[in-house]
Chain A
Amino acid sequence: MAAFLGAHGYDPGPTQRPLLAGAIAGLLATGPAVGLLHAFGSLEVEARILGTSIAVTIGAGWVVMAIAGAAYSRLFGRAANDVRGGWLFGMAFGFVVWAAGAVLILPLVSGGLAPAGHAALGVFLSLVLWGGVLGAILPFVHRPLHKTIESEAQRPTSGPSGRLPPAKR
């Protein structure tokens, strides 16, 4: 899979702005995820475990999810712009964020405390939903942010010596 993505995905494309698009899409996808967390009562449990208020928990969540969105967009590169498969790549990424964040990191920073019951289910579903929404909307968020072919084609890197090794003295 790594080699597969490496051939097509790591290069985000010369006209793309993956970090910006990913951060915006990550922020937007956090909306429905917060709604789901609230519906399962997970928000209150997370705030309690972290020892903060719900408002601070949500605020921190937006920031973390914007960074995670940017990371997703950069990591998946061109693949992240695939309208047909984006939802799945995003869900897979959401699953990884859940496994790494909610299952490993949260208990570490909270002295071993972790959500259980419906709250745990809410955390899982919200992160998978976040990933799915992130992956689905990213291509559309990204489109208007692209640099123009006209401007990028004029760069020296596109020219005849753009791919040559630096000249030696």
Chain B
Amino acid sequence: MIRVVALRKAAIAGAAGALAWELVLRSAILLGIPTFDIVRTLGTLAFPHASTLAWWSVGMIAHALVGVCWAVFYAYFFWAQLDWKPALQGLIFSGVPAVLALFVVAPQLGLIKLGAEEVQLTRDMLLPSLSAVGIAGLLAGHAIFGLVVGAIYTRPVGYRADRPPEIRLCATRASRNGGRRPQNGGFIFATGFECSYPTVEQGKWRRDEMHETRHYSFWQRDIELAREIGVTHLRYGPPLHLVFEGPGKFRWDLVDEPMVELELGGPEPIVDLCHFGLPCWLGDFQNPDIAAALAEYARALAVRYPWVRYYTPVNEMYVCAKMSALDGMWNEQRRDEASFLNAVFNLASACARMTDAILEVRPDAIMVNSESGEFYQPCCPDEEIVARAELENERRFLPLDLLYAHEVSERMLGLIREHGREEDYRRFLGRRMPKRSVLGVDYYEWNEKLIDREGNPRALGELFGWSVIASQYWRRYRRTMMHTETNRIDASDAQRWLWRQWHNVQHLRGAGVPLIGFTWYSLTDQIDWGIAIREATGRVDPAGLFDLNRDPRPVGLSYKHLIDMHRDVPEYRHCPAVEEMMS
């Protein structure tokens, strides 16, 4: 799949565009303005001597069908290619069918109208046969069509946050039994289902990557593909916003069947409980009540699936807080330091309470705290630029500092005091982290940033690499680590990127860091991640082990190669850091 297209919406847009064209041009014709009558031309093509109603009906249906085809074509190949207003995009696009109509279709319609079965072509027959007024009518008709299609066809992915679609998970075949290999202390090779579900447009529009990648339809196939690749673990995030309907109310039917499948046949799930979004009834990450509510959800899930051992209570707290409260892209969409701090404290508090709730049910549960591995480099020795980079390099640690009860820097402490959160901070410092906590460090090509002369962060690409950035986190927290996410949006470079990341993992393990796993994220391509899912364009980012038709990408084969090559090597078959976690 090259683009997620809302076929129904495109079809409606195409038919509406054709109807609008007809309404305007028919009015002109009825007013005596001579112009190209496409509906009459098409209708009388099939029924030359039919009544007006007959040719109009047939012509209109044919015109609407052609409109639908063009609108779907627009949806696949043109929509959101230009950063212009939707109606204007449609107007520009209408030039394509207009040119074809003028230079190919209209002359051919002329040939079809001839009484003969064959003709000797002349140059005149192949040129546009319309009068100036006819050409003007044709262009005007296409312009109207384009404007209408462009105006109607917007937001092909996602749904109204307060009106989610009816989603049901149905198994297409019996669950496979007996395939799950017991976790015996081996190195973790993982992938995951991309499951982000933030809201955009001030909370009105829900992005739901599992819906957009059609995981709800293909969930069983997706689990099978993960098995085919040979991963031992799978990052799986049930859709919190759909499952947790209210206090004490859960839609477990959205989770039960995949969980049965995973329990019986593997891979071992790392259950991801909160991934960049909240149910509507909980509001956003400014809400201090989310900690108690999410703890209830975590406890309920642990009770329902007592065999699950690995959890990620909150995914990438720093990224979630930054995108929601500092960069203004998701959920509350704020852009101030106070909101950012609020979000960080609420997320860290939620993560801590969820951890406690899970451990009450399953004392030997393992928490994989995934966080984005970030680094900021000043572009020049300018004091302000250096200070900005230092601020960012301290701020990236803030959520983990709270969760892992690590003292923050002086600058961060000043910020915390300024916003009156010191008491909360001291409370976090008194917290004892559970023994089985894994620090997951994610890494993408945009994680290392340069602070430019204007003080803006700009993606640098891979400057130092994962092992250097992860080392900074290791030195700060001294916790068992895991590479919990990576991918490459440029599919042609993905294999090289995979092996580079893997060599980074090997390098850090060689340096004595207790490292338990590696993850290519995600199993399938993702939607709109190239623009941080802030707009609903439906663009497919080819970052997966499989494309959205579920056909493998070369990187999928390389990952299988990598796993097959290493899983039976003694140092990976028995990973001391994993064995210690499991004990």
Chain A residues within CB distance 8 Å of chain B: 1, 4-5, 7-9, 11, 13-16, 41, 45, 48-49, 78-79, 81-85, 88-89, 91-92, 99, 103, 107, 112-121, 124, 139, 146, 149-150, 152-155, 157-160, 162-164
Please judge, given known A-B contacts A79-B2, A112-B121, A163-B496, whether A158 and B557 are in contact too, CB under 8 Å. Answer: yes
- Please name all residues of chain A whose beta carbon is closer than 8 Å to the beta carbon of B503 when the two chains form the complex: 160
Contact residue among A9, A119, A154 (Cβ-Cβ distance under 8 Å from B2): A9
- Please name all residues of chain B whose beta carbon is closer than 8 Å to the beta carbon of A83 when the two chains form the complex: 549
For the A-B complex with A7-B491, A159-B558, A160-B499 known, give 20 more contacts whose Cβ atoms are closer than 8 Å.
A1-B78, A8-B547, A78-B1, A85-B2, A85-B5, A88-B72, A88-B73, A91-B69, A107-B121, A116-B112, A116-B118, A117-B111, A117-B115, A120-B108, A149-B228, A149-B557, A153-B561, A157-B554, A158-B557, A162-B495
Q: Which residue of B lies closest to A122 (CB)?
A: B112
- Please name all residues of chain A whose beta carbon is closer than 8 Å to the beta carbon of B3 when the two chains form the complex: 4, 85
Contact residue among B492, B542, B560 (Cβ-Cβ distance under 8 Å from A158): B560
Question: What separation, in Å, do the CA atoms of A103 and B542 have in the docked complex?
Answer: 37
Interface residues of B in 268-284 (CB under 8 A from A): none
Contact B491 A11 (CB under 8 A): yes
B116 contacts chain A at the CB level, 8 A cutoff: yes
Contact B561 A5 (CB under 8 A): no
- Please name all residues of chain A whose beta carbon is closer than 8 Å to the beta carbon of B77 when the two chains form the complex: 1, 4
Please judge, given known A-B contacts A8-B2, A149-B560, whether A113 and B551 are in contact too, CB under 8 Å. Answer: no
- Please name all residues of chain A whose beta carbon is closer than 8 Å to the beta carbon of B113 when the two chains form the complex: 117
Q: How far is the CB of B313 from chain A (nearest CB, A)?
A: 33
- Please name all residues of chain B whose beta carbon is closer than 8 Å to the beta carbon of A116 when the two chains form the complex: 111-112, 114, 116-119
Please judge, given known A-B contacts A113-B118, A116-B117, A159-B558, whether A121 and B552 are in contact too, CB under 8 Å. Answer: no
Is chain B's binding surface mostly helix, strand, loop or mixed? helix
Contact B540 A8 (CB under 8 A): yes
Please judge, given known A-B contacts A78-B547, A81-B549, whether A154 and B118 are in contact too, CB under 8 Å. Answer: no
Contact B549 A153 (CB under 8 A): no
Q: How far is the CB of A9 from chain B (nearest CB, A)?
A: 6
B7 contacts chain A at the CB level, 8 A cutoff: yes
Contact B561 A78 (CB under 8 A): no
Q: How far is the CB of A69 from chain B (nearest CB, A)?
A: 18
- Please name all residues of chain B whose beta carbon is closer than 8 Å to the beta carbon of A1 when the two chains form the complex: 77-78
Contact B564 A153 (CB under 8 A): yes
Contact A114 B558 (CB under 8 A): no
Contact B558 A158 (CB under 8 A): yes
Contact B554 A14 (CB under 8 A): yes
Question: What separation, in Å, do the CA atoms of A14 and B556 have in the docked complex?
Answer: 10
Question: What separation, in Å, do the CA atoms of A115 and B560 have in the docked complex?
Answer: 55
Contact A159 B561 (CB under 8 A): yes
Contact residue among A82, A92, A124 (Cβ-Cβ distance under 8 Å from B1): A82
- Please name all residues of chain B whose beta carbon is closer than 8 Å to the beta carbon of A117 when the two chains form the complex: 111-117
Question: What separation, in Å, do the CA atoms of A117 and B53 have in the docked complex?
Answer: 23
Question: What separation, in Å, do the CA atoms of A41 and B116 have in the docked complex?
Answer: 12
Q: How far is the CB of A40 from chain B (nearest CB, A)?
A: 10
- Please name all residues of chain A whose beta carbon is closer than 8 Å to the beta carbon of B115 when the two chains form the complex: 117
A-B contact count (CB 8 A): 149
7 nearest A-B residue pairs (beta carbon): A153-B560, A158-B561, A8-B2, A158-B557, A153-B557, A163-B496, A116-B119
Q: Which residue of A lies closest to B72 (CB)?
A: A88
Q: Which residue of B lies closest to A128 (CB)?
A: B69
Please judge, given known A-B contacts A103-B108, A117-B112, A149-B229, whether A78 and B551 are in contact too, CB under 8 Å. Answer: yes
- Please name all residues of chain A whose beta carbon is closer than 8 Å to the beta carbon of B1 when the two chains form the complex: 8, 78-79, 82, 84-85
Q: How far is the CB of B457 from chain A (nearest CB, A)?
A: 26
Question: What separation, in Å, do the CA atoms of A6 and B234 have in the docked complex?
Answer: 31
Binary interface encoding of chain B residues 115-141 relative to chain A, with 1 for a CB under 8 A from any of its CBs, else 0: 111111110000000000000000000
Q: Which residue of A lies closest to B229 (CB)?
A: A149
Question: What separation, in Å, do the CA atoms of A160 and B72 have in the docked complex?
Answer: 41
Contact B229 A163 (CB under 8 A): no
Interface residues of B in 546-583 (CB under 8 A from A): 547, 549, 551-554, 556-558, 560-562, 564-565
Interface residues of B in 1-20 (CB under 8 A from A): 1-3, 5, 7
Contact residue among A4, A14, A114, A155 (Cβ-Cβ distance under 8 Å from B118): A114
Q: How far is the CB of B337 from chain A (nearest CB, A)?
A: 38
Interface residues of B in 64-120 (CB under 8 A from A): 69, 72-73, 76-78, 81, 104, 108, 111-120
Q: Which residue of B lies closest to A11 (CB)?
A: B491
Q: Which residue of B lies closest to A82 (CB)?
A: B1
Kindly name the residue among B7, B72, B553, B561 whose own CB sees the greatest number of chain A CB atoms within 10 A: B561
Q: Which residue of A lies closest to B125 (CB)?
A: A114
Please judge, given known A-B contacts A116-B114, A117-B112, A149-B560, whether A4 and B2 are in contact too, CB under 8 Å. Answer: yes
Contact A84 B5 (CB under 8 A): yes
Question: What separation, in Å, do the CA atoms of A162 and B560 have in the docked complex?
Answer: 14
Contact B114 A13 (CB under 8 A): no
- Please name all residues of chain A whose beta carbon is closer than 8 Å to the beta carbon of B122 when the two chains form the complex: 112
Contact B112 A82 (CB under 8 A): no
Q: Which residue of B lies closest to A79 (CB)?
A: B2
Contact residue among B45, B78, B118, B551 (Cβ-Cβ distance under 8 Å from A121): B45
Contact A113 B111 (CB under 8 A): no
Question: What separation, in Å, do the CA atoms of A50 and B3 have in the docked complex?
Answer: 41
- Please name all residues of chain B whose beta carbon is closer than 8 Å to the beta carbon of A114 when the two chains form the complex: 111, 118-119, 121
Contact B542 A120 (CB under 8 A): no
Contact B542 A14 (CB under 8 A): no
Question: What separation, in Å, do the CA atoms of A54 and B81 have in the docked complex?
Answer: 46
